[in-house]
Amino acid sequence: MEECMSMDELRRTLRARSVILRHARPPLHIAIWTTHGLERKVTQALRQHRVRLAALLAVSDVRTCPAPGLHRASFYYKGQGLYICGDCERLARWVEKRVC
């Protein structure tokens, strides 16, 4: 059986390909924004790490920020070991009002 990507490897791959993940309804679902297809190993890894990724996306955790180089100034510490991307948080709220 093909070995699946680790969560870190998956996040690096998605960033390198400008893939944006978004928390979606129902809970623990993920919307994928990309302008091109994803390889099978990437979709398998997304499936494998979906629950953990969805939980991070739900709170705009910095680990799911697709553009840390651009958003870093908005990062803030929320407490309990949680670092949030303020820009992703604002985008998620904006999308939530218009798409969901």
Q: Which is nearer to Zn ion, 28 or 68 (CB)?
A: 68
Work out which of 5, 21, 57, 88 binds Zn ion, going by CB under 5 A. 88
Mask: binding to Zn ion, 4-43, rule CB under 5 A, as x and -?
----------------------------------------
Mask: binding to Zn ion, 47-76, rule CB under 5 A, as x and -?
------------------x-----x-----
Question: Which DSSP state fits 63?
Answer: G
Determine if 87 is a binding residue for Zn ion (CB under 5 A): yes
Listed residue (25, 26, 32, 82) closest to 59, CA to CA: 82
- At 23, the amino acid letter reads H
Determine if 85 is a binding residue for Zn ion (CB under 5 A): yes
Listed residue (6, 16, 14, 9) closest to 57, CA to CA: 14
Q: What is the DSSP string of 63-97?
A: GG-S-HHHHGGGEEEEETTEEEEHHHHHHHHHHHH
CB 4 to Zn ion: min, Å? 25
Q: Are 18 and 66 in contact (CB under 8 A)?
A: yes
Judged by the rule CB under 5 A, the positions of this chain that interact with Zn ion are: 65, 71, 85, 87-88
